[in-house]
Amino acid sequence: MANFKFEALTTSELLDIRDYVNELLKSRAVNERREIEETLARIGKVTGDRTIPGRGRSSLKGVKVAPKYRNPQTGETWAGRGATPRWIQALLRQGRKLEDFAVGKPVGTKRRATKRPRQNRTAKPRRKKR
């Protein structure tokens, strides 16, 4: 093949060679794909898997969630999942806080301070019993 002179061939001969090579590559790809699928099927039988390993679908995908935030002007809601809606982005840029739009937020009450975690206490030495 190293000594083959493609320059000496006519355009139609070169196109025929290209078509032949494309068909040959397609058939080889189909055969290799079939072999890979058979191997994966055998692996699945050995391990007892019914699916091909990989990233599975989230158990929460598609599940409706109660809204966490509401636009006070339009009534639009957002559950806190996915991309932040434009109305929240605009209000946050104006200096508002996300907590201002929380659904079910008690009106007129102050937020309680969060509990601080206990500090590690050093153990005092015990007295010996007499």
**pTM value > 0.95:** no
- Alpha-carbon gap, residue 91 to 101, rounded angstroms: 10
Domain for residue 114, yes or no?
A: no
Residue 83, phi then psi, degrees to nearest 5: -70, 145
Domain for residue 120, yes or no?
A: no
**For residue range 95-121, what is the model confidence (pLDDT) as tens digits?**
999 888 898 865 555 555 666 666 666
Domain for residue 130, yes or no?
A: no
Q: Is the pLDDT of residue 35 over 90?
A: yes
**Counting Cβ atoms within 10 Å, is residue 98 exposed (0-12), middle (13-18) or buried (19+)?**
middle
The parent domain of residue 15 ranges over: 9-47
Domain for residue 30, yes or no?
A: yes
**Three-class SS of residue 17?**
helix
Count of structural domains, the chain: 2
**For residue range 4-33, what is the model confidence (pLDDT) as tens digits?**
788 899 999 999 999 999 999 999 999 999
What is the CB neighbour count within 10 angstroms for residue 80?
Answer: 15
Domain for residue 76, yes or no?
A: yes
